[in-house]
Amino acid sequence: MHKVTLVKRLKGLYPTDEYAEETLRSIGQGEIVAVTIVRPRNVQFHRKFFAMLQIILANQSYYKSMGDLLDICKLSIGHYRTVMTQQGLVKLPKSISFASMDDVEFADFYRKACDWICSEVIPGLRQQDLDAEVEAELMEFATS
């Protein structure tokens, strides 16, 4: 199995580096290959999520750590796996690492997390106000 990165242009997908070019060249004319489309994670989007969690943590009094807030968020929005124990089923938060979800999956996770925050953690908080606060925090961080 070869993992390559490609870029979409008007007439198709094109290799982004020498390895991808070589791999595509190795496919015979008319040969059928299976392709899985994965959109790599956007590191800025990942940072935005954690900046949002930091703001939420500072503006509520129930959750005492970022880890607690993140774990409860994951459990509340259904981002968990279940494990059978002697005491019964236990829900364990799943990872949101770059290796475990692509950009499309993370965007869906982010949307659900924002909905949960605005309805359960700080009821009445509007999504656009939260976004504005996060963007201001990121801009401040970038200029300092």
Q: What is the pLDDT of residues 46-89, one digit of tens each?
A: 999 999 999 999 999 999 999 999 999 999 999 999 999 999 99
Domain ranges of the chain: 1-37, 43-143
Could you tell me the pLDDT band of residue 122, with boundaries at 50, 70 and 90?
very high
Helix (H) or strand (E) holding 141: helix 127-143
Q: Are 96 and 74 in contact, with CB atoms under 8 Å apart? A: yes
Residue-level pLDDT at 140: 81
More confident residue, 41 or 93: 93
For the segment 4-14, the average pLDDT, to the nearest whole number, is 87
Q: Quick check: 83 and 90 in contact, CB under 8 A?
A: yes
Question: Is the distance from CB of 127 to CB of 121 less than 8 angstroms?
Answer: no
